[in-house]
Amino acid sequence: MIKKLFMFALVGGMFSLTACAAGGSSTESTPTESTSENTTAAQSTAETTTPVNTEAQEVTTTQFTYTTEEWKAPEEYGKVIALTFDDGPNTTTTNEVLDVLEEFDVKASFFVIGTNISEETVPVMQRAVSQGCEINSHSMTHDYMNSMTDEEILADTEQVNQLIKDAIGTEPKFFRPPYIATSGKMFRLIEMPFIAGYGCDDWDPAVDVDTRVQKTLEQSRDGAIILLHDAKGNSQTVEALRQIIPELQAQGYEFVTVSELFYAKGIQYVPGLKKTFSAVPQ
Ligand SMILES: [Zn+2]
C-alpha cells in the first residue's frame, strides 16, 4: 500500500477564543455566542484552507500522525459533529456513556485525567478504543496549568501522555486544558492542539437533563465539538445523551472523533496560533 504524506494548512478559521491566563474561571465555562465577534474577526482575516489529498492513507501534521484507512474521503462527509467527554475515566459513568454510544453505534472522544487512570479504568479506556472512540488528554492532575512553571507543565503532560500510551498504545492527539484555562507557556510547551467545545454546564448537578439536551442541541452545528462530562455519578448526562444522539442523527449529523472531525474538514492545526478550537472551519 502506498502511503503518502501530505500537509495542509489552516490560517485563521472558525475557532473560538477561550478564557485564559490570569485567574481562569472556577468552572469549566465554554465559548458561546459571546465569542462570535472574535470568530468573525478571525474569519475575516486570512483563511486559507487547501484541499485534502483524498488518496492519502496517512496524515502527518507537525503534531501527530493518524491513519485514515477506516475513514472515507473528506468530501463524502455530510454534517459532522464530535461528542467529547471530560474528567473520566471511571468504571461507572464512563461505561454508561459507552453503553449509550454502543447502542446508537456512534463514536466520541474522551479527554481523560491522568490521576483517574488505574488498573480498574484502563479496561474502560480500551473498551472506548474498541468502539472507535478516541482518548485524549485533560491533563494529569486537573490543576490550573496556567499558573504552572515550564517544568511543571512539561512534567504533567509527559506523565499523562505516557499513562495513556501505556493503556491504549498511542499517545493522545488533542489536549483540553482543565477549566479551559490557558497561558502562553502552555501553548508553547504542550504540543497538541487545544480543544474547548460547546458545553451545557453539565458538570453542575443543578442543570437538569432537559436543559442539557436543549442547550446542546441549540449549539450543535456542522463541525462543532460538544463538551460533556463523564465524571463519576453524572447520570444526567447519560440520560441527556439518549435524547441528544437520536435527535442529531435525525437532523443528519454523523458523529466522529475529534481527529476525524478535523480530517473531514481538511484542517490541520498549526502550532503557535494560541487558539483553542471549539469547532473546525467550514
Ligand atoms: Zn475537567
* Confidence (pLDDT) at 275: 80
Ligand 1 mean position, distance from CA 27 (Å): 9
- Which residues of the chain carry a pLDDT beneath 70? 1-69, 269-273, 281-282
Contacts with 210 (C-beta within 8 Å, 6 or more apart), sequence order? none
Helix 235-250 and helix 93-104: axis angle, to 10°? 20
Burial class (CB in 10 A: 0-12, 13-18, 19+), 129: middle
* Confidence (pLDDT) at 53: 34
- Catalytic, out of 138, 156, 202, 229: 229
Ligand 1 mean position, distance from CA 142 (Å): 6
- How is the chain split into domains, by residue range? 33-277
Q: How far apart are CA 57 and CA 190, in angstroms?
A: 26
Residues with CB under 5 A from ligand 1 (ion): 86-87
Ligand 1 mean position, distance from CA 111 (Å): 8
Does the annotation mark 86 as catalytic? yes
CATH superfamily, with its number, for domain 33-277? Glycoside hydrolase/deacetylase (3.20.20.370)
Q: What is the pLDDT of residues 166-191, one digit of tens each?
A: 999 999 999 999 999 999 999 999 98
Which phi and psi (to 5°) does residue 199 adopt?
Answer: -110, 170
Ligand 1 mean position, distance from CA 5 (Å): 34
Give, in order, the Cα–Cα distances in Å from 49 to each of 14, 46, 103.
Answer: 12, 10, 36
Q: Which three cell numbers stand for residue 151?
A: 517544568
* Confidence (pLDDT) at 44: 31
Does the annotation mark 143 as catalytic? no
Ligand 1 mean position, distance from CA 1 (Å): 40
Q: What is the pLDDT of residues 251-276, one digit of tens each?
A: 999 999 999 999 998 887 665 667 88
Cross-strand bridge partners of residue 198? 226
* Confidence (pLDDT) at 267: 81
DSSP secondary structure letters along 88-115 = ---SSHHHHHHHHHHHHT---EEEE-GG
Claim: this prediction has a pTM higher than 0.85: no
* Confidence (pLDDT) at 270: 61
Residue 274 identity (one-letter amino acid)? K
